[in-house]
Amino acid sequence: MQNPPFPAESGTLTLAGPVGPLEVAVDLPKADVPTVPVIAVICHPLSTEGGSLHNKVVTMLATTLREMGITTVRFNFRSVGGSAGDFDHGVGEQDDLKAVVAWARAGNPQATLWLAGFSFGAFVSLRASAELQPQVLVSIAPPAGRWDFDGVQPPAQWLVIQGEQDEIVDPQAVYDWLEQLKLPHELVRMPETSHFFHRKLIDLRGALTHGLKQWLPTTGSPAA
C-alpha cells in the first residue's frame, strides 16, 4: 500500500501502518487565523476503554490548536476504528505514532513537529519523544503510576495539564512524578476537573491556549 500525499484540505485517509492500515484525520487551521508552520500529531486515550481519534478531549485539543494556526493530525491506534492490528500495551502504538509522524514530516519538511496526547495517548507520546524529538509536547492527564514512564525524555517545551478531581489518574501521583523527574515543564492544575473534563472543556481550551501561545513560531507561513 502506497501512502497518499499530505492533503491540502481537511479530511480522513488511510496510511500504511506497521501492522496494516491506520485511520487518520487531518484538519487544517481555522480559515480566519494566520497559518503557522507547525504540524501537531495527537494521540487518543486507552484503546481498550473506547479511546479513539473522536474522543472529546482529543477533538477539543485539535480545535484549540487549529485556532492557533496549527495543522493537526489525529489517528486511531492499531485495533481502533479503521486501524488494523491488536492492542499492544503502548509498544506497538508507539510504532503507529512513528509511522504517522514520518508521513507528516515527509509531506511538510519545513514544518515543526508538536506532539500531544491524552491519558494513554500521553503515555505513548512521552515514550516516543526521545526518538521523535518534537519541539513541543502536550500531556493531558498523563497516567503516572499506571504505566511505565521510566526514562522518558520530553522536550524542554512541555505542557502538562491535570484535573484535580481525576478519578482514573491519581493527580498526586502525577505531581510526585513530575517533581522526581526534575525536568523543565509547565504544569496546569485544573480544580474540580474529572478525568474526561466533563463541563470543563472550555476551561481546557483556555489552559491550552494560554500555555502554548508562548511557543508558537513568531512568523506565519504555510504548513502544508
Cα–Cα distances in Å, from 68 out to 111, 114, 148?
Answer: 15, 13, 32
Does the CA dihedral 140-144-147-148 come out positive or negative? positive
Sheet holding 186-190, edge to edge: 11-17, 20-27, 71-75, 38-43, 112-118, 136-140, 157-163, 186-190
Cα–Cα distances in Å, from 57 out to 7, 20, 221?
Answer: 24, 26, 28
Give the pLDDT confidence of 41-77 residue by residue, as tens digits.
Answer: 999 999 999 999 999 999 999 999 999 999 999 999 9
> Which domains, and CATH codes, for the chain?
11-215 (3.40.50.1820)
The packing angle between helices 56-67 and 201-212, to 10°, is: 40
> What is the reported pLDDT for 202?
97
Claim: this prediction has a pTM higher than 0.85: yes
127 closest CA partner among 95, 102, 157: 95
